[in-house]
Chains A and B, each alone.
Chain A
Amino acid sequence: MSSIDKKHPGLNLGRSDPGAHQDAEEIVFGFWVFLMSDLVLFALLFATFATMIGRTADGPGPQEFFDLKSVAIESALLLISSFTFGYASLAMKYRPEPMKVVRWLGVTLLLGIGFLGFEVHDFVTMAGKGGTPQTSGFLSAFFALVPTHGLHVFAGCIWIVVMIVQTLAYGLARDVKLRILRLGLFWHFLDIVWIAIISVVYLRALA
C-alpha cells in the first residue's frame, strides 16, 4: 500500500532501495513513536529539574561546579558526531560499498566515546567537590537528568558497535540499512536533548 514516493520524516531510502523503503514505512514510524515516548520521559526529567533547582539544602549549587569549558567540548563532540553520522547515512544511501559506512560510523563512535569520557570526568570532579546526588534534591534531579542522557549515548555507542559488526558481516543488507536508519534518528534525537540540557541545566542554572 505504500508507494515509493511516500515519505517518512528523516532520511528516506526512496528509489535508492525501494524494497527497504517500503519496509521502512512501518518500522521507522514505530521508532518515531518510541522516540516520542522517550521524549516525554526527558520532558518530565526537565520538569523535575526545574522544580528542584533551588532545593540545594545548604549544599553546593550550580555555581560551585558546573564547568562550562568542559560542557562546550562535550557539545562540540556530540554535535560533530551528529554531522559524521549524517555522512554515514548518506554513504549508506548512495554508496554500494559498506566500508564507507563503517568508517563514518567509526568516527561517530569515537566522538561519542569522547563525549562520554568528558562527561564522566565532569561527574567525578563534581563528586570530588561534594556534589553527589545524595547531597540535595537539586543534585538528585541533576544526576537523574544528565546521566540519563549519558546512558542513552552509551546505549547509542553500543548500538553503533553492533551496526559496524553487522555491516561488516552482512554488508548493506535491507535489515542492516533499516537499523542504521533508526540508529540515525536515535543519535540525532540525543543531540536535540543535549541542546536542551545545555540551555536548561548549564546556562540557565548559571545565569
Chain B
Amino acid sequence: MRPTRRPTANGMALRGRIAAVVEVRGCVVAACATALSAMPAGAGVSSSSFLHPLGPVAAAQKSLFYDINLLMMIVILPVFVFMPWFAWRYRRTRRDSVYRPEWSFSLPLEFLVWSVPTAVVAALAWLIVAREVPLGPYRPLASDKPPLEVEVVGLDWKWLFVYPEQGIATVGAFAMPTDRPVEFHLTSDSVMQSFFVSGLGSQIYAMAGMVTQLNLLADTPGRTTGRNTQYNGNGFHQQRFVVEAMDDADFAAWVEKVRADGVPLNDENYRSLAAKGTLALARAKLARPGMPADRIYFSGVPGGFFQKIVRKYASGPMPSSLAGPQPVAAGMVAAHEAR
C-alpha cells in the first residue's frame, strides 16, 4: 500500500498519535473489513475506487475513512461485546444470576454513556475541521505548477471535457498530466448530474445555468474510470469515461493527437453531441477514423464555449441560493469570463 498523503499539520498530529497504535489499527481495520463484508485490500482491488487512490485527495479520503472507523470502534465494540454477554449472562433460564428488577439509574454509568460518545463525536468533529475542510472541492491544491483548466459539461448521457487553453475537447475519455493540479469548472446542459472520479477524489454536482468547481490531482500515472452518479434517465449506466493520468510529455503528445484527429466543436456538431443519447449514438454521427473506439475528440473549440452554455439558462441576475452562495452563477460566470 502506498504511503498516504497528509494534507495538513493537524492531520499529521492526529496521525502521529494514531501511529502509536498502528498495529492495533491494522487489526481493527481488518475487523472492520470483516464487519463490512470484505473491504478489499491488496490485490484484486477495483481500480475505479478511492481504495486504490491515484492522487492525494482520494488517498486522504481513504485514510480518513479508516481513521473514522477506528475511532468509532470505541463506542461500537462495547455494544458488540456487552449485548451478547448481557443477553446470555442474564438469560432467564439461568436462575443463579443477580436480579435487580427495580434498578434503573446510576450516576457514574450515566456519566460514562454520555461522555464517551460525546468525546468520540468531539474527536470526529475535529477530524472534519482539520481534515475535511482542506479537502473541500473548491480548495485549490498546493503545487508549484499552475493548474490545468478543464471545463466539464454534463449531457444526456455523456460528459464533455473542454480544455480551453489547448482549444480541444473530448468525450468518453479525459487525460491529465501527473503532479499538476486540475481545476474543473462544471455545468450541465441538461438535468442535474454528479461528476465523480473515485480514484482521484471528490464528486460535485453539475447544474444548468450554474458553475461548480472541483480541484483534483493525480500523482501516479495510471487509468481509472469516472462517471455520473445522479440518475438522469435510460442511458445513466452508460455515462462513464476513462481517466488517464500521464506524464507531461505523454500529455503533450495526447493533446496533439486530439487536435489532429478531432472534429471541430461548432454549433452543429455540438447539437449532434448534446442530443439525448449515449456515447455510442453520438459516435455514430461524429466519430472519425483515428479516434479510439470509446471516445470522441474535438478540436478548434471556440473561446467562451463553456460560458455560452451556462448563459443559455442564466438569464438575469441570479442571487445566491438557500444552500450557500458558491455554485451560482452570474457574478461567477462573469469572473470566469474575465479570467
Residues of A within 8 A of B (CB): 47, 51, 53-59, 136
Contacts and interface: CB of A to CB of B under 8 A. Distances in A.
A57 B322 contact: no
Contacts of A57: 315-316
Interface residues on B, range: under 10
Contacts of B318: 54-55
Most buried by A among B316, B319, B322: B316
Contacts of B316: 54-59, 136
Contact of B319 (A47, A54, A58, A59): A54
Contacts of A51: 319, 321-322
Contacts of B322: 47, 51
Interface in B311-328: 315-319, 321-322
A55 B210 CA distance: 13
The 7 closest A-B pairs by CB, nearest first: A54-B319, A57-B316, A57-B315, A58-B315, A54-B317, A58-B316, A56-B316
Contacts of B321: 51
Nearest to B321: A51
A199 B321 CA distance: 21
14 contacts: A47-B322, A51-B319, A51-B322, A53-B319, A54-B316, A54-B317, A55-B316, A55-B319, A57-B315, A57-B316, A58-B315, A58-B316, A59-B316, A136-B316
A55 B322 CA distance: 13
A55 B319 CA distance: 7
Contacts of B315: 57-58
B210 to A, nearest CB: 12
Contacts of A59: 316
A145 B316 CA distance: 22
Given A51-B321, A55-B316, 16 more contacts: A51-B319, A51-B322, A53-B319, A54-B316, A54-B317, A54-B318, A54-B319, A55-B318, A55-B319, A56-B316, A57-B315, A57-B316, A58-B315, A58-B316, A59-B316, A136-B316
Contacts of B317: 54
Interface in B48-86: none
A191 to B, nearest CB: 28
Interface of B: 315-319, 321-322
Nearest to A48: B322
A111 B318 CA distance: 39
Contacts of A55: 316, 318-319
B173 to A, nearest CB: 36
Nearest to A54: B319
A53 B318 CA distance: 9
Nearest to A53: B319
Contacts of A56: 316
A132 B316 CA distance: 17
Nearest to B319: A54
B331 to A, nearest CB: 11
Contacts of A47: 322
Contacts of B319: 51, 53-55
Nearest to A47: B322
B319 to A, nearest CB: 4
A56 B318 CA distance: 9
B310 to A, nearest CB: 15
A54 B331 CA distance: 13
A54 B319 CA distance: 6
Contacts of A58: 315-316
Contacts of A136: 316
A56 B330 CA distance: 13
B137 to A, nearest CB: 23
A3 B169 CA distance: 79
Contacts of A53: 319
Nearest to B317: A54
A174 B318 CA distance: 55
B122 to A, nearest CB: 32
A102 B231 CA distance: 58
A106 B73 CA distance: 69
Nearest to A56: B316
B207 to A, nearest CB: 14
A58 to B, nearest CB: 5
A55 B315 CA distance: 8
A57 B322 CA distance: 18
A47 B321 CA distance: 11
A136 B313 CA distance: 12
A54 B316 CA distance: 8
A8 to B, nearest CB: 35
A201 to B, nearest CB: 16
A55 B316 CA distance: 7
B206 to A, nearest CB: 20
